[in-house]
Amino acid sequence: MNQTSVSTHAWILMAALGAIWGASFLAIKVGLEELPFLTLVAHRVFWACLILWAYVLIRGLPIPRDPRIWGAFLVMGLLNNVIPFGLMAWGQQFIETGLTSIFNAGTAIFGVLVAAAVFADERLTPRKSLGVLVAFFGVAVAIGLDSFRQFDIRSIAQLAVIGGTISYAFAAAWARKTMSHLPPQVSAAGMLTGASLIILPVTFAIDGVPQVPTLPATWAAILYFGVVGTALAYLLYYRIIALAGSGNAMLVTLLIPPVAIVLGAVVLGERLAPSAFAGFGLLALGLILIDGRALAVLRNR
Question: CB count, 10 Å around CB of 300?
Answer: 6
Task: For residue 237, give the nearest of 225, 249, 229 by alpha carbon.
Answer: 249
Q: Is the pLDDT of residue 233 over 90?
A: yes
Which residues have C-beta within 8 Å of that of residue 200, sequence separation ≥ 6? 42, 46
Rounded Cα distance, 90 and 28, in Å? 10
**pLDDT per residue as tens digits for the range 152-182:** 888 899 999 999 999 998 998 898 889 888 9
For 228, counting Cβ atoms within 10 Å of its Cβ (0-12 exposed, 13-18 middle, 19+ buried), the class is: middle
Q: Is the pLDDT of residue 1 over 50?
A: no
Specify the pLDDT at position 293. 64
Question: CA-based diameter of the chain, in Å?
Answer: 62
Q: Is the pLDDT of residue 295 over 60?
A: no
Specify the pLDDT at position 2. 44
The model carries a pTM of 0.89
Q: Is the pLDDT of residue 8 over 90?
A: no
**pLDDT per residue as tens digits for the range 247-266:** 667 778 888 999 999 999 99
Specify the pLDDT at position 193. 97
String of DSSP letters for 71-130: HHHHHHHIIIIIHHHHHHHHHTTTS-HHHHHHHHTTHHHHHHHHHHHH-GGGPPPHHHHH
For CA atoms 280, 281, 286, 290, the dihedral sign is positive
| Average predicted confidence (pLDDT) for the chain | 88
Specify the pLDDT at position 125. 85
Rounded Cα distance, 186 and 62, in Å? 8
String of DSSP letters for 137-155: HHHHHHH-HHHHHS--HHH
Inter-CA distances, 129 with 152, 193, 222, 283, Å = 31, 36, 39, 13
Please state, for a pLDDT cut of 70, what percent of the chain lies above it. 92
**pLDDT per residue as tens digits for the range 54-109:** 999 999 999 999 999 999 999 999 999 999 999 999 999 999 999 999 999 888 88
Is residue 8 helix, strand or coil? helix
Specify the pLDDT at position 140. 86
Rounded Cα distance, 101 and 271, in Å? 14
Rounded Cα distance, 266 and 24, in Å? 15
Please state, for a pLDDT cut of 90, what percent of the chain lies above it. 54
Q: Is the pLDDT of residue 43 over 60?
A: yes
Asked if 115 and 123 touch (Cβ cutoff 8 Å), the reply is no
Which range (26-30, 78-82, 269-273) has the least confidence? Answer: 269-273
For CA atoms 28, 33, 34, 36, the dihedral sign is positive
Asked if 43 and 222 touch (Cβ cutoff 8 Å), the reply is yes
Rounded Cα distance, 79 and 164, in Å? 9
Asked if 292 and 127 touch (Cβ cutoff 8 Å), the reply is yes
Specify the pLDDT at position 146. 67
Q: Is the pLDDT of residue 223 over 50?
A: yes
Rounded Cα distance, 65 and 146, in Å? 52
Q: Is the pLDDT of residue 117 over 70?
A: yes
**pLDDT per residue as tens digits for the range 126-149:** 888 898 899 888 888 888 766 666
Specify the pLDDT at position 95. 93
Which range (2-11, 127-136, 232-241, 255-264) has the least confidence? Answer: 2-11
